[in-house]
Structure 1
């Protein structure tokens, strides 16, 4: 059955507008997308949840139909905008992917009204486990105008599990030049400076997992079994301090599984958001 999307404009705290794209019926879920992309790649996920939930997508600042991003980037608008969306919709369920997981966890740590938070391959720097040493080199290439080289460095730094990451940089750069000719590649290339800024911010939040111990929401810390290996120890470290958290390794899933929305991942998310609460969230 084909689903109809609705679009509404939500006022942000600074007076800008957040364009909310919604589909489905039932309890609400807000999706916070990852870096280097727009909401378009999450529409499949939304549609596959739409028979059970009302799913809300919105572009973060500086992307597609979103307002411009404040500079220098400190992530505060991202957290505030998520708060505005939660207030406008009354939704208390959030999915955060990659860099969007960092935004969502920061929001939960500030006691925004999030009761259940599902994080998939969340880009959280804990005890230096998340590989971000490549950021200065990638930024230097981007500032020199060589977006293909910067993208190759970024991909190699993040996709440590991939055989392609071990190819010579020149070969990876050539492949990225071809990738930049595709619609997804063009978007990732245009947004690469934003991605690098976000990666640098994540690095600045490196520390012990205890810094997140104040999150009272129920949290699902999920990662792909076929993705980068560093997400699993990060999730285990976080689960050790978050009071209402559990981990999940999704079989046969890579970093882009949330966009591909395979049935076993969609069902796991639906089960998390509909299961009886283990403990009522507490708020100060």
Structure 2
């Protein structure tokens, strides 16, 4: 059975793909449970496919990677003899033996981070700022179906759930220069995987023709019967001391015909299309994208924003507050990326996003809209902190169709007159004396006594965040906050999570209780011993509550 993962208007769906390529969302017939990740199917065991029933056709959605493993992708190098020979002759093999024996005696194993996985159809970042030797490697990927420890070669294939295609993208110069393979093979977007995942019963893994084409030119064309170490041997070797888990992915090695095997080498450049195919597994098709901004700055209207993006699934955008940056959400990103495409960015004038003129809440709202448009995101959940909650709620009130949920950490309202005066005074102080003139005062008021007493690393992290701000940008943001007006809170009908700390002086419980009575659909969580920097003061609790809120219907 062939499975694809498709992003639809209602979220990610696992779909069955028929012989004509048509995809239909599936669910468990006996429980009615919808299926959003392949892991659900794998965990249901060998009888899972018998429990599935097809639901609606998945039309117009974006194809996602069928599976994103929960840990690094295991990879096997030099596993076809002809490729091992071409690699040895290329001058890029810093691990070759001195006696010239290019065929390894034992499987050569390395890993790629799960975060490098992208889908068929996604662009591959060429990373032209750090490599000029971009290469492809078409491979068969193995998906483990159940826990495997000390498995014999004879039993190994019983632990395979299915197969997929992988492009083990490689920066050859980095692979050579660093004397090992992790860095050269682990750059962002360097593990295209898909388009489907296919159950093992449909694939003859010992006789499977693997091909790679670049711009239509056939470069690799080899059968898996030519593997030096077959799939069973690889599983036996890995599981001898490493317990393999259901959902683990293993890339089995690439055949002869990679770019460095030619004279001169045929490296990939922006615009090249790489297509990897095998009977029954479809075509993994990716284009080498245009070079990205080395500062990761994305044009959003008149602003240039520092943006970080990871994960697959429904979109969630993380918005920091005054004096913050993307770093505020560092403890939460990995967990949220298991189920969502996580987009976090620095507001203009904050962190690594340069000042784009006088700041204002409405300006940041339009900046967010431009960013979503640039990323092709029609609708998203928003997670926002402090001043960022005014950006998020104003955006939700202005563009209600673009928001699915709101999680507001330490939500604030427009300031009363006395607070406006104090905020404008802070702006003047920063312009005159820099961030060091206000950082310690802010720390004293913004963090709870518990954090001050028992979490010195958190205190230091927040202090560094503040001191790292551009004074002009911070001062402009203070003036924007002082000038802010409340949006129409009552018009926001999407689910809202209000999250504050019992020691939060900026967003006290009373303010949150007032907002709870205004929003049509809201819930309130109060964290014990936490001040205003919730995601850093109690990261585990914030992560848990965000996961629960974002995932449930």
TM-score normalized by the length of structure 1: 0.74
C-alpha displacement of 1:130: 9.6
Q: 1:265 to 1:160 in 2, by over 3 A?
A: closer
Report the counterpart of residue 253 of structure 1 in structure 2: 530
Q: Secondary structure at the match of 1:144?
A: helix
Q: 1:253 to 1:146 in 2, by over 3 A?
A: closer
State the shift of 1:45 in Å.
1.4
The match for 2:432 is 144
- Aligned: 1:56 with 2:343: yes
Superposed displacement of residue 244, structure 1: 1.7
Which residue number corresponds to residue 551 of structure 2? Answer: 274
Separation in 2, partners of 1:151, 1:64:
15
Give the deviation of 1:120 after TM superposition: 0.2
Would the alpha carbon gap of residues 124 and 81 (structure 1) be closer, same or farther in structure 2, given more than 3 Å must change?
Answer: same
- What aligned pairs does 1:208-247 form with structure 2 within 5 A after superposition? 211-228=488-505, 230-247=507-524
Say whether 1:125 aligns with 2:414: yes
Matched, 1:114 2:393: no
Q: Distance in 2 between matches of 1:130 and 1:258?
A: 28
Per-residue displacement from partner, 1:28-53 (whole Å, max 9, x unpaired)?
21101122122133222111322222
**What is the CA distance between 1:227 and its match in structure 2?**
2.8
Q: Residue 97 of structure 1 is aligned with which of 385, 388, 403? A: 385
Q: How far does residue 154 in structure 1 lie from its aligned partner after superposition?
A: 4.1
Superposition pairs of residues 153-192 of structure 1, within 5 angstroms? 153-155=441-443, 158-159=445-446, 162=449, 183-187=464-468, 190-192=469-471
Q: Distance in 1 between matches of 2:354 and 2:428?
A: 27
Residue of structure 2 equivalent to 1:173: none
Deviation at 1:114, TM superposition (A): 0.7
1:85 match: 371
Contact 1:10–1:84 (CA under 8 A) maintained in structure 2: no
Contact 2:448/2:529 (CA < 8 Å) preserved in 1?
no
Q: Deviations over 1:155-181 (max 9, x none)?
A: 45x43865999xxxxxxxxxxxxx79x
Contact 1:161 1:229 in 2 (8 A): no
Q: Quote the offset at 1:136 in angstroms.
A: 3.9
| Alpha-carbon distance in structure 2 between the residues aligned to 1:65 and 1:229 | 25
Q: Quick check: 1:3–1:23 contact (8 Å CA) kept in 2?
A: no
Match of 1:30 among 289, 292, 317: 317
Query: Paired residue for 1:13?
Result: 301
So what's the TM-score if we normalise by structure 2? 0.41
Preserved contact between residue 24 and residue 50 of structure 1 (Cα < 8 Å): yes
From the two aligned structures, give the one with the greater helix fraction: 1
Q: Which has the larger radius of gyration?
A: 2
Note the alpha carbon deviations across 1:47-80, whole angstroms, 9 max, x for none.
1322222211111112344243222x22333111
Cα separation, partners in 2 of 1:216 and 1:192, compared to 1, 3 Å: farther
Q: Secondary structure at the match of 2:465?
A: helix
Q: Secondary structure at the match of 1:258?
A: helix
Are 1:33 and 1:96, in contact at CA under 8 Å, matched by a contact in 2?
A: yes
1:201 aligns with 2:480: yes
- How far is the alpha carbon of 1:234 from its aligned partner? 1.5
Structure 2, unaligned runs of 5 or more: 1-70, 72-112, 116-187, 190-291, 453-459
Tell me: CA distance 1:206–1:111, structure 2 relative to 1, closer, same or farther (3 Å): closer
12 and 184 in structure 1: CA distance in 2 versus 1, 3 angstrom threshold? closer
Q: For residue 26 of structure 1, report the CA deviation from its aligned partner.
A: 2.5
Q: Mean alpha-carbon deviation: is it higher for 128-137 or for 230-239?
A: 128-137
- The size of the alignment, in residue pairs, is 254
CA spacing shift, 1:228–1:117, aligned 2, 3 Å:
same
Highest relative contact order (Cα 8 Å, sep 6+), 1 or 2?
A: 1
